[in-house]
């Protein structure tokens, strides 16, 4: 074999080795991302079934793996899910610590809006409406994907709690349009429920019932037990305002049955 041919063969071998390494690294990265996603999904499923200890262990494993790979997206996602789990468990102090870490990790990324929304929800859980509104607005302005309707829904919810019904109506209508455009059916149902509640408070009972029934239909399609219960409770209140005590009790009993059997942790 000539010297020139030998050098060519070695060059091809090195190139193939490097390409193989690059391919392996890409494969390893994809496997890591799938593993982190799988761990987070399994944790959410465990939490939905009431197995909080298992959920925490799965999320801790996901966090450790993400930190070991310097994976900011994985770290941010896992911290957010840990924070949500702590909030739904009533541990607001731990939830606050975790969401602050998530905000730092997600700074400058597409996940920052999710972290800001979680911060807003925690402020809302503490009945700090002004801070909740501030963080909800940060979530809205930080949104870079297709979740604008979710951000607007939270702002509408806060406005409704502050009894700013005109502002809540405007925001919920904007949210409804955005959610319909983006195919976000659960968020669309949230918009409809809020608009139904606002119409009910304004005495527009027939229109309120139409909106609430549409929300109920969407939530049933998505098998969202917690949302179905909320729809039924709103319809029960509406039936009471109409003076139909039998229907009121019927809706209330259905809502109670759903809540007793749902065993689910909401996604936000």
How far apart CA 142 and CA 135 sit, in angstroms, is: 10
pLDDT of the residue at 197: 96
* Domains in the chain: boundaries: 169-261
- Matching residue, tokens 């702002």: 155
Q: Token digits for 159?
A: 């406005």
Q: Measuring CA to CA, which residue among 114, 128, 61 is closest to residue 267?
A: 114
221-260 residue pLDDT tens: 998 999 999 999 999 999 999 999 999 999 999 999 999 8
Superfamily of domain 169-261: Tetratricopeptide repeat domain (1.25.40.10)
Q: Token digits for 248?
A: 């009121």
Cα–Cα distances in angstroms (integers) from residue 250 to residues 207, 219, 237, 240, 246, in the given order: 21, 19, 11, 11, 6
Residue 259 CB coordination number (10 Å): 17
* Per-residue pLDDT tens listing for the chain (268 residues): 444 333 333 333 334 333 444 455 567 668 888 999 999 999 988 888 889 999 999 999 999 999 999 999 999 999 999 999 999 999 999 999 999 999 999 999 989 999 999 999 999 999 999 999 999 999 999 999 899 999 999 999 999 999 999 999 999 999 999 999 999 999 999 999 999 999 999 999 999 999 999 999 999 999 899 999 999 999 999 999 999 999 999 999 999 999 988 754 454 5
133-149 residue pLDDT tens: 999 999 999 999 899 99
pLDDT of the residue at 261: 85
Residue 108 CB coordination number (10 Å): 8
pTM of the model: 0.82
Cα–Cα distances in angstroms (integers) from residue 265 to residues 46, 74, 89, in the given order: 9, 21, 9
pLDDT of the residue at 116: 98
Name every residue whose Cβ is closer than 8 Å to that of residue 5 and which is 6 or more positions away in sequence. Answer: none
Which of helix, strand or coil describes residue 184?
coil
pLDDT of the residue at 9: 36
């Amino acid at each position: 074999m000539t010297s020139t041919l030998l050098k060519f063969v070695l060059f091809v071998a090195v190139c193939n080795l490097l390409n193989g390494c690059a391919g392996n690294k890409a494969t390893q990265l994809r496997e890591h991302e799938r593993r982190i996603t799988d761990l987070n999904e399994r944790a959410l499923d465990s939490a939905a079934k009431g197995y909080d200890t298992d959920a925490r262990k799965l999320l801790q494993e996901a966090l450790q793996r993400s930190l070991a790979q310097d994976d900011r997206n994985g770290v941010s996602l896992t911290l957010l899910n840990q924070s949500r789990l702590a909030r739904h468990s009533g541990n607001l102090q731990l939830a606050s610590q975790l969401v602050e870490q998530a905000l730092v990790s997600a700074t400058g990324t597409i996940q920052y809006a999710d972290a800001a929304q979680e911060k807003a929800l925690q402020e809302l859980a503490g009945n700090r409406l002004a801070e909740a509104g501030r963080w909800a607005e940060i979530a809205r302005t930080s949104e870079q994907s297709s979740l604008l309707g979710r951000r607007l829904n939270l702002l509408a919810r806060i406005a409704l709690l502050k009894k700013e019904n005109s502002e809540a109506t405007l925001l919920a209508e904007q949210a409804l349009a955005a959610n319909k455009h983006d195919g976000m059916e659960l968020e669309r149902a949230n918009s409809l429920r809020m608009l139904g509640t606002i119409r009910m408070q304004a005495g527009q009972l027939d229109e309120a019932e139409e909106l609430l029934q549409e929300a109920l239909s969407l939530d049933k399609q998505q098998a969202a037990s917690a949302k179905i219960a909320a729809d039924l409770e709103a319809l029960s209140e509406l039936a009471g305002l109409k003076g139909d005590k039998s229907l009121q009790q019927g809706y209330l009993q259905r809502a109670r049955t759903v809540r007793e059997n749902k065993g689910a942790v909401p996604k936000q």
